[in-house]
Structure 1
Amino acid sequence: MIDKKIEMSLDIIMGDRFAKYSKYIIQDRALPDVRDGLKPVQRRILYSMFKEGNLQSKAYRKSAKTVGNVIGNYHPHGDSSVYDAMVRMSQDWKYRVPLVDMQGNNGSIDNDPAAAMRYTEARLSAISELLLKDIDKETVLFSLNFDDTEYEPTVLPAAYPNLLVNGATGISAGYATDIPPHNLHEVIDATICRITNPDCSLEQLMEHMKGPDFPTGAIVEGKEGIEQAFKYGKGKVILRAVSTIEQTKTMNKICISEIPYEVNKAELVRKIDEIRFNRNIDGIIEVRDESDRDGLMIVIELKKEVSIENTLNYFYKNTDLQKNYNYNMVAIKDKRPNLMGLKDILDGYINHQIDVITKSTLFDLQKANRRKHIVAGLIKAISILDEVVALIRKSKDKGDAKNNLITKFDFSELQAEAIVMLQLYRLTNTDIVSLQNEDHDLDKQIVYLNAILDSDERLREEIINRLTAVKNTYKIPRLSIIKDEIKEIKIDEKAMILSEDINVSITRDGYIKRISNRSIKASEGSLIGKKEDDYLLKLIQMNTVESLLLFTNKGNYLYIPAHKIEEFKWKDIGKHVSYLVSIDSTEKIIEAIVVHDFSAPFYILMVSKFGQIKRTKLEDFEVTRYSKSLKCFGLKEHDEVISASLTNGNCAVLLSTYAGYTGMYSEQEVSIVGTKAAGIKALNVKDDHLIAANTFDPFANLSIMLFSENVGVKRLKLDDIQLCSRQAKGMTVYKNPKSKAIHLKDVIVCPIDTLLQVHTTEDVYRLVPKDYSNASLEQKPTSMTTNKTEVVHLVTTDIIQDTKLVKIETVAPTMKKNEHDSFKEEMERTLFTMLDD
């Protein structure tokens, strides 16, 4: 054993073994041969069926028998790999001309598996027998099988260019191939053109061979890609489904009758229905698969007001109703993988046919010469029949008779064998005539065969004649439509959205949901669903064609199309906004702004806690990709955004600080910058910070409502606030009591009859500014008393004590004067009575 050890380094061993493995799977497993267009397993299946007489003219045989023969004699691999290859060759949605005629369940275009091999039956298809034609005439090289007990062909004669007709796909070590199917008639015409004119151009070949012809039909776009593929072996084309439009009074229908090659129909229908279910686009009523034995049919029903073309374009872009097909024409030529164009593939096939026809002609010539020699001997024997019969009668046995004939009458071994085997009924004058006629026919055949062998032109004519016979026998129309230009897909996102008024809620922690009016009415009087410690930031009435901008405390914003928001019930928590736009878990939503038209001359004014302010054009916030949050404010360390508001360019800005200072100036004092820029100084807040920023029409009749941490409230007139510069500290509007420091919590600028909802640590209250008298700047705030508030939950005390202010919401629009007295009853009949903390 010591003498049998071989010491080698691991890298040499691995390199050597992998090289051998790679060579094997490249040449003998994954890639087709350019001559017959078959992989080894396919070739072995067809040859085994041919050898066993499992032909089109015979009855079907169990597939299991064929698989067993292939495995036992030629292909020592798993039965599933053999049966799968056999099934694929029988599927008319995979093969342009199926090579196996299978009876039983052989799968479906929905990717349903075929029945087990014990249930199905199969035989060679008529056209596949042409691949094996003349194989018994020594036309191809045979080699020993895996256990040296049988011979198998290394290639089939292939009476037509199967590689181009049925295409191929496969992956090996370092190589892959993707050759689409083409039309049999076009391929034969192109082959004949190449045989007739070996120097023909690619343009001349493409006059005959337009492009791929897929068994599932569909539309092929991109003549330039086809030309590139035919020239270099690589190119890209677009496959698009064939659809028709049906319009009725109540709805429109998209009817799809052909789909791209190798697309799973069931998966395609599921994907389209998923788009309907997820409301990625609006207006899809139903998606149905109406395919039957008469053909494929997918029906998509749309609402009447939906743009059909726009919806169809969306499906083309987001489903396999349209897909790319990349030519990668790699095949084995001269035992090596080669990337070949159309000319190379045709030349490889033509050279193979020249070799096959030459060998079959030689075989036929040898057979004809042998028969002519025998016929000559029989004619001679009949001319001296009496002497021949007498000699045979005197002979001891067959061998002695043959020797006597050879010795006395100078017959050859072959002729003597034929004479002694001659039947008595042939010994008539009539048979002399038939033998003479046969001899004459053999002379003609020998002349014809010699002419083929002696003339390259006659040899090529023979190839053309055989190809023409195949073309005339099998009438196969083109299925795929070739279009020169690739149609550009344009999707108008807004045109696909059904205009619908909706309700959207957004919480501070980023939970968002669409709520139907029905859900709101059904939940009247109950609290809105939310997480614990979270609170409702806004409940917005908007339209599906509008967009929502959500601003966070970290200086980012989220762009959300309204129609993308999923619908939930009133009591549901909803879904975190990260399912639409990725956002950091530490960020909090501080404002939500509805935008109908980004081109409108509006601005977004933002203010930070440490006294920075900036103004940006609304149009700068529009984006086409909104999968992640975007920067809108360049903040310094530890700073955060406290306010974002929509302005028209002529608004006043009121800034309030924690220590009770307020400054007011025009928004035009704030320069316009981009979304990623930092802000400028908003107010001098040294040793202080901003707690509120209000923008408003300076000419409107508004009041200022100040709220302290201990739920103190104070109303001021706008006229009491003096204008200042951005660098100023502002004026004092809130004075702390001497007993303890109490600071401002929030400041609201609003009309005097606006409903404000005040959230405290103990309860939720509602108040209206007009119920409070205007105070002077020096006057202290008063406590909120129940007789001056609309209270959601009744309290037992008249004055709120030992409680802290959490937040304040403006929950109702400006009311008319005569509506205020019955305010509570009115609000209970509106959406706003169900707002929760």
Structure 2
Amino acid sequence: MSSPDEKIQDLALEEVLGDRFGRYSKYIIQERALPDARDGLKPVQRRILFAMHVEGNTAEKGFRKSAKTVGNVIGNYHPHGDSSVYEAMVRMSQDWKVRNTLIEMHGNNGSVDGDPPAAMRYTEARISKISAELLRDLDKETVDFVPNFDDTASEPTVLPSRFPNLLVNGSTGISAGYATDIPPHNLTEVIDGVLKRLDNPNCSTSDIMKYIKGPDFPTGGIIQGIDGIQKAYETGKGRVVVRSKTTIEDMRGGRQQIVITEIPYEINKATLVKRMDDLRIDKKIEGISEVRDETDRSGLRIVIELKKDANADGVLNYLFKNTDLQISYNFNMVAIFNKRPQLMGVISMLDAYIAHQKEIITRRSEYDIRRAKSRQHIIDGLMKALSILDEVIRIIRGSKDKRDAKLNLQTNYDFSEKQAEAIVSLQLYRLTNTDITQLQQEAEELAKLIAELEAILGDEANLVQCLKEELQGIKKAYKTPRLTSIENEITEIKIDTEVLVASEEVVVSVTKEGYVKRTGMRSYAASNGEDLSMKETDHAIFVQSMNTMDALLLFTSKGNYIYRPVHELPDIKWKSLGEHISHLVTDASGDEDVIAAIPMKTFSETDNFLFTTKNGMIKASAVLNYQPQRYSKTLMAMNLKGDDRLLSVSVINGTEDVFLASHNGYGLRYAVSEVPVSGARTAGVKAMNLKAGDFVAGVAVIASDEKKDLVLITQRGSAKRMKLSEFEPISRAKRGLLMLRELKNSPHRFISLDLADNSDIIHIATNKDVVVDLNVANLRVTDRYSNGSFVMDEQLEGVPVETWLSLAP
């Protein structure tokens, strides 16, 4: 049981969590992660610089151990982990992270390869020369001081910051609900932008961009996208592309190499080099023979040595797209302004800095006037004392002590207490004619200084002129050339296939059930003529030698097609089963059969695809319609109605005839020019006038010089061979000529049609999973009125259901 002295509050958990997290978030936002809009520093950075300033660890003095500074910061101002303080200190010294380093460091302070710095006990540091401009006039009551965490010392809430550090060095950070990404800029350009804003307080962002052209990264590089810069400068958010600086150099033997001398900001060079070399090792890109990092004291240099005849521009474009050789940089310019996080454009940042500087100059001038007037008052007293020196000496000699002397001087000659103190403290050697001259000269200088300071305080124009003169002085002292070049437009990256793929001959195989693969010539040769590996019920519909630069189109019975470059087909040994089409696309249906595989070296502008369906529809469509930009899913080849199935696909040039055989025994031949050309998603037109219950059993495209014969198989196992000359071309959508002799009992019905000659073998599959091989040379040629010759026993081997020709690569 609790004692009565204990104070226990009964609070809802969500209230407690909300309150505590709110306080914590406010602290993180204001006191840790985000920079102040006035001096561009986070609290830990400000405390590091202030601690070094207090200790006299300045640019004109020697270096001191970093550990000593870290200890001072932790002990006096920033009660957090020593590693976080040291990391912030190191970052301010890294010339590849900040545009103008605020700390000079001796020893290992890390590298652009991501190497960690040496421990703080090994490194030495001091404030850089330009950092003194951030701290200048700190002792003149220019900024507010607050007690430190244990009330034993005071620290500034902001630094005077005589140059616009927020834009010059930029900032990155993540806090609770806020993040910031402000890129570094060129000091000269930013000061010119401030001067322009002072001259014209109503100028636009476009006016400012004539001076501040864009970020200036310490690692150089090329920025593309001036529209992104303008958007960021107007709104605080925007996107640009940062590209490495590269050149293509010629080598001996007709080879070339790509040399990289500048990389994007905050990119780890070692990781970038490894990524590029991994692409070479993994053969994701052809043409690279070696990647070397030749960086030394003279500067960054990465060399990508290319193979002979490699496309240097193509390789470079691929690296731009697939590595950090080119990155997107996203502006997110958030800073603390009026104690609140605010998304700021460049105008509001300049205005925040200018307002801060006006306050600094005002407070400094007020301080200097107070000091000057105090000194002037003393000088007036000393000069008056020297003019009545004998009386002053007499009074001092006649006084009992210092206090009495001061009182007598104040009473008899109307000196103030401060003047009397100065007189009695005056050393005897200064009672000379020379000293009175020096006092008069100092009095004149003080009067002039007071007049100047009062003019600054009394007239805004004088204050602005003072600020401009100080900025001009800093610009002259610390001027540096721009490192990052800017290009107006973002270059579109186009990658040629030959850059990615080694051109080689392979054997591509496709089976009816949808198993696809490509096999290297070495693997195919090692098979010693073995048959293609596939399931027992399956058969090959395409086996052909192709180049990896070619493309393959797979058409399915449901009117869809799958597009794949040959080099993207699965690379599988000849003795192994291929990969199913369901692995090539995300939406392949289980009841789709592959009915045709058509190789494409180039997509002809003059050729068409000819599609024919089971229900007697036909369509011609330009080959160019079937070259997709994206091919992760199946694409529509022909719009099928109801239960219709795509039966055949062929490439035509418009000079051929098409021959259709119906199940009930009709044959129709006509010119393909009678089929109108339409788009990829159309349903086509009527191909053949079918009786009720009839359907198209087979289709053949007949070239003008075709020498092969028609071979048709019936469901009763009969094969019929006919000359093409038996059929004269007529018109589309007719019924055609009867090719079977009608029988009352068990009439013959066609199940397939092939064009074949004596060198071909037709394989006939039955409903009993039996395959009968038919040598076409053994078939005699007949006329239209016969039912052909029986080539199999229906009782023993089953009813024929499909046929296919032998294929060889």
- Which TM-score bucket, shorter chain as reference? 0.7 to 0.9
- Give matches, 1:126-525, under 5 Å: 126-171=129-174, 176-196=179-199, 198=201, 205-231=208-234, 233-248=236-251, 249-273=253-277, 276=280, 282-371=286-375, 380=385, 401-410=401-410, 414=418, 427-428=428-429, 433=434, 437=438, 440-441=441-442, 443-445=444-446, 447-455=448-456, 456=459, 457-483=461-487, 485-486=488-489, 488-489=491-492, 491=494, 493=496, 500-508=503-511, 510-525=514-529
Q: CA deviation at 1:35?
A: 1.3
**Structure 1 residues 123 and 672, CA, compared in 2 at 3 Å: closer, same or farther?**
same
Show the counterpart of 1:541.
545
Residue 750 (1) aligns with residue 759 (2): no
**Structure 1 residues 165 and 584, CA, compared in 2 at 3 Å: closer, same or farther?**
same
| TM-score, scaled relative to structure 1 | 0.80
Unaligned runs of 5+ in 1: 395-400, 785-798, 813-831, 833-837
SS across alignment from 1:752 = coil
SS across alignment from 2:633 = coil
Show the counterpart of 1:643.
648
Q: CA deviation at 1:702?
A: 0.7
What RMSD over aligned residues (CA atoms) do the two structures have, in Å?
4.4
Question: 1:289, 1:408 → 2: CA distance?
Answer: 84
Counterpart of 2:183, as a letter, is P
Counterpart of 2:407, as a letter, is T
Question: 1:220, 1:634 → 2: CA distance?
Answer: 48
Q: CA deviation at 1:97?
A: 0.9
Question: 2:293, 2:337 → 1: CA distance?
Answer: 44
Question: 2:376, 2:779 → 1: CA distance?
Answer: 129
Q: CA deviation at 1:481?
A: 1.6
Counterpart of 2:658, as a letter, is V
**Structure 1 residues 11 and 453, CA, compared in 2 at 3 Å: closer, same or farther?**
farther
Show the counterpart of 2:562.
558
Show the counterpart of 1:787.
none
CA contact (8 A) 2:637 2:681 kept: yes
Q: CA deviation at 1:479?
A: 0.5
Question: 1:402, 1:138 → 2: CA distance?
Answer: 33
Q: CA deviation at 1:54?
A: 3.6
Residue 89 (1) aligns with residue 92 (2): yes
Q: CA deviation at 1:697?
A: 1.8
What whole-Å deviation, never above 9, does each CA across 1:325-356 have from its counterpart, x for those lacking one? 44444433333444444443223212211221
**Structure 1 residues 440 and 25, CA, compared in 2 at 3 Å: closer, same or farther?**
same
Q: CA deviation at 1:454?
A: 2.5
Counterpart of 1:359, as a letter, is R
Mean Cα deviation higher: 216-225 or 162-171? 216-225
Question: 1:531, 1:29 → 2: CA distance?
Answer: 66
Q: CA deviation at 1:161?
A: 0.7
CA contact (8 A) 2:396 2:405 kept: no
**Structure 1 residues 744 and 418, CA, compared in 2 at 3 Å: closer, same or farther?**
farther
CA contact (8 A) 2:541 2:804 kept: no
Question: 1:706, 1:369 → 2: CA distance?
Answer: 119
SS across alignment from 1:542 = strand
SS across alignment from 2:561 = strand
Counterpart of 2:804, as a letter, is I
**Residue 711 of structure 2, aligned match among 705, 711, 722:** 705
**Structure 1 residues 115 and 732, CA, compared in 2 at 3 Å: closer, same or farther?**
farther
**Structure 1 residues 26 and 718, CA, compared in 2 at 3 Å: closer, same or farther?**
same
Q: CA deviation at 1:77?
A: 4.6
Q: CA deviation at 1:162?
A: 0.5
Q: CA deviation at 1:731?
A: 3.8
Question: 1:277, 1:531 → 2: CA distance?
Answer: 35
What whole-Å deviation, never above 9, does each CA across 1:614-641 have from its counterpart, x for those lacking one? 3222121122222322111223455433
What whole-Å deviation, never above 9, does each CA across 1:73-117 have from its counterpart, x for those lacking one? 444555554444333323222211122334444443344454555
Counterpart of 1:633, as a letter, is M
Question: 2:438, 2:508 → 1: CA distance?
Answer: 101
SS across alignment from 2:367 = helix
Question: 1:116, 1:530 → 2: CA distance?
Answer: 64
CA contact (8 A) 2:770 2:798 kept: no
Q: CA deviation at 1:435?
A: 8.0
Show the counterpart of 1:652.
657
Counterpart of 2:565, as a letter, is P
SS across alignment from 2:159 = coil
Mean Cα deviation higher: 488-497 or 557-566? 488-497
SS across alignment from 2:364 = helix
**Structure 1 residues 235 and 500, CA, compared in 2 at 3 Å: closer, same or farther?**
closer
Question: 2:781, 2:381 → 1: CA distance?
Answer: 138
SS across alignment from 2:754 = strand
CA contact (8 A) 2:74 2:82 kept: yes
Mean Cα deviation higher: 659-668 or 773-782? 659-668
CA contact (8 A) 1:191 1:346 kept: yes
What whole-Å deviation, never above 9, does each CA across 1:303-332 have from its counterpart, x for those lacking one? 454444444344444544334444444433
What whole-Å deviation, never above 9, does each CA across 1:191-230 have from its counterpart, x for those lacking one? 2343355456656644443332111112233445444544
Show the counterpart of 1:782.
791
SS across alignment from 1:409 = helix
Question: 1:48, 1:531 → 2: CA distance?
Answer: 79
Q: CA deviation at 1:130?
A: 1.9
Show the counterpart of 1:607.
612
CA contact (8 A) 1:560 1:626 kept: yes
**Structure 1 residues 686 and 431, CA, compared in 2 at 3 Å: closer, same or farther?**
farther
Q: CA deviation at 1:266?
A: 4.0
Question: 2:432, 2:559 → 1: CA distance?
Answer: 108
| TM-score, scaled relative to structure 2 | 0.83
Counterpart of 2:789, as a letter, is K
Show the counterpart of 1:828.
none
Question: 1:288, 1:806 → 2: CA distance?
Answer: 59
Unaligned runs of 5+ in 2: none
CA contact (8 A) 2:605 2:623 kept: yes
Q: How many residues align?
A: 787
Counterpart of 2:633, as a letter, is K
CA contact (8 A) 1:703 1:752 kept: no
**Structure 1 residues 387 and 324, CA, compared in 2 at 3 Å: closer, same or farther?**
same
Show the counterpart of 1:816.
none
CA contact (8 A) 1:187 1:208 kept: yes
Counterpart of 2:637, as a letter, is C
